[in-house]
């Protein structure tokens, strides 16, 4: 098992397979994806080496992310490869959902077990204003299809000051019948979004307070569960989650490592730099790669230091997948 000097165990890998994204979310890529250099993303062969090495070190869950992972035509093959790797029990995707109705059956057939869909508003006008796309209906239709296929669905909604009240009330209505977890994520500051962050960031604490006052109870999660706080209510099929990266001790439950679409290991979303694994991935030497991963983990810091305004090398989260 991969374990760092603070006793945190890492059974979860977030693997970005592209940094290209077709959405223009106001907090991430407001001017759309800007092509920087070649699109030399990890090949299926390199991904197989990487996933085998991580699985051999105790990784049991892989989340495929991006950019927008569904822009890669070989996504079903990548899911299948991950799902067929001994030791990998859960294969998840984080997606904006624009291709969900078309693709979700093929992802399920390939072995997908869980899906995180980014949906920052349930109001079509707000959704359009935030993402630059009029796709809320498509995303909602895809979510229903995924649920019918037995895929576990979580929704990611970034908390943005102008929309948060509407979002909470519409989300609560929606969750009455939908067996999904909707996770409200505090906006994080990145290298590119500082003025936007200053104008739009709000804390999740008042929402937590409102939920508790309205009869929602915090669910006790096991130690390996990661930093989200989750709440349930007897009258609701769905759950609410809160991800508050600025709260005290957020990083104490960190259980994930990240690899970029160009094969760099990021020990934290806001690390100063990615550590290049590509030569070892191309060599295909799994033992050597495992030794390197164990050695590099020694550099993982206790915290992301976001509260000090530190954003490391992360210009925006499409670089790495959130
Ligand atoms: N394209 C995919 C998607 O839309 O889910 C995967 C990549 S996207 C960068 C991953 C997640 O990061 C999304 O849920 C997005 O809302 C979130 N995200 C991006 N920038 C963020 C920021 N500055 N603060 C908080 N969440 C952010």
User: What's the CA-to-centroid distance between 33 and ligand 1, angstroms?
Assistant: 13
Q: Compute the distance between CA of residue 206 and CA of residue 199 in angstroms, rounded to an integer.
A: 18
Helix, strand and coil content of the chain, in percent to the nearest 5, comes to 35, 20, 45
Considering Cα of 41, then 44, then 297, then 93, what sign does the dihedral take? Answer: positive
Question: Would the CB of 65 count as within 6 Å of ligand 1?
Answer: yes
Q: In this predicted structure, what is the pLDDT of residue 281?
A: 98
Closest listed residue to residue 266, CA positions, set 13, 4, 11, 2:
13
Query: Residue 190 carries which DSSP code?
Result: -
Closest atom of ligand 1 to 117 CA is 5
Question: What element of type H or E holds 277?
Answer: none
Query: Are residues 138 and 98 in contact, defined by beta-carbon separation less than 8 angstroms?
Result: yes
Question: Would the CB of 190 count as within 6 Å of ligand 1?
Answer: yes
Q: In this predicted structure, what is the pLDDT of residue 223?
A: 67
Q: Compute the distance between CA of residue 29 and CA of residue 67 in angstroms, rounded to an integer.
A: 10
Closest residue by Cα to atom 17, ligand 1, is: 322
Half-sphere exposure of 90 (CA within 13 A, CB side): 18
pTM (2 decimals)? 0.96
Alpha carbon distance, N-terminus to C-terminus of the chain: 23
Q: Compute the distance between CA of residue 241 and CA of residue 165 in angstroms, rounded to an integer.
A: 16
Chain-centre distance of CA 296, in angstroms? 22
How many CB atoms sit inside 10 A of residue 303's CB?
16
**Residues near 51 by beta carbon (within 8 Å), at least 6 away in sequence:** 13, 15, 59, 62, 81, 82, 85, 88
Question: Would the CB of 115 count as within 6 Å of ligand 1?
Answer: no
Question: Would the CB of 52 count as within 6 Å of ligand 1?
Answer: no
Closest residue by Cα to atom 12, ligand 1, is: 322
Low-confidence stretches of the chain (pLDDT < 70) are 223
Q: Which two tokens stand for residue 198?
A: 């200053």
Question: Would the CB of 158 count as within 6 Å of ligand 1?
Answer: yes
- Most ligand 1 atoms within 8 A of CB, residue of 185, 188, 317, 318 to mutate: 317
Distances (CA, A) of 159 to 119, 152, 202: 11, 22, 7
Q: Could you tell me the maximum CA-CA distance found in the chain, to the nearest angstrom?
A: 56
Closest atom of ligand 1 to 68 CA is 1
Query: Residue 116 carries which DSSP code?
Result: E
Phi and psi at 236, nearest 5°, equal -120, 140
Q: In this predicted structure, what is the pLDDT of residue 71?
A: 97
pLDDT digits (tens, 9 = 90+) for 19-43: 999 999 999 999 999 987 788 999 9
Question: Would the CB of 227 count as within 6 Å of ligand 1?
Answer: no
């Amino acid at each position: 098992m991969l374990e760092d000097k603070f006793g945190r165990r890492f059974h979860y890998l977030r693997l970005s397979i592209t940094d290209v994204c077709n959405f223009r979310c106001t907090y991430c890529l407001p001017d759309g994806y800007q092509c920087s250099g070649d699109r030399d993303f990890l090949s299926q062969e390199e991904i197989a080496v990487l996933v085998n090495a991580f699985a051999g070190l105790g990784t049991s869950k892989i989340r495929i992310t991006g950019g927008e992972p569904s822009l890669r035509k070989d996504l079903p093959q990548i899911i299948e490869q991950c799902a067929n790797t001994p030791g990998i029990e859960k294969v998840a995707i984080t997606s904006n959902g624009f291709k969900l109705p078309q693709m979700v059956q093929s992802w399920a057939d390939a072995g997908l077990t869980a899906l995180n869909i980014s949906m920052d508003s349930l109001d079509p006008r707000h959704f359009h204003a935030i993402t630059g796309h009029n796709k809320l209906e498509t995303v909602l239709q895809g979510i229903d299809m995924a649920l019918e296929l037995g895929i576990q669905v979580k929704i990611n909604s970034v908390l943005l000051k102008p929309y948060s009240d509407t979002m909470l009330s519409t989300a609560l209505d929606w969750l009455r019948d939908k067996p999904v977890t909707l996770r409200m994520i505090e906006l994080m500051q990145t290298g590119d979004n500082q003025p936007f962050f200053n104008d739009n960031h709000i804390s999740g604490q008042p929402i937590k307070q409102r939920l508790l006052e309205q009869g929602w109870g915090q669910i006790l999660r096991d130690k390996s569960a990661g930093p989200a706080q989750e709440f349930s209510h007897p009258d609701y099929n769905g759950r609410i989650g809160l991800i508050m990266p600025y709260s005290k001790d957020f990083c104490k439950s960190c259980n994930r490592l990240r690899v970029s679409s160009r094969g760099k290991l990021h020990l934290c979303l806001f690390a100063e730099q990615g550590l290049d694994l590509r030569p070892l991935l191309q060599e295909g030497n799994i033992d050597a790669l495992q030794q390197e991963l164990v050695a590099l983990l020694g550099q993982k810091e206790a915290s992301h230091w976001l509260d000090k305004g530190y954003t490391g090398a992360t210009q925006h989260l499409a670089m790495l997948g959130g």
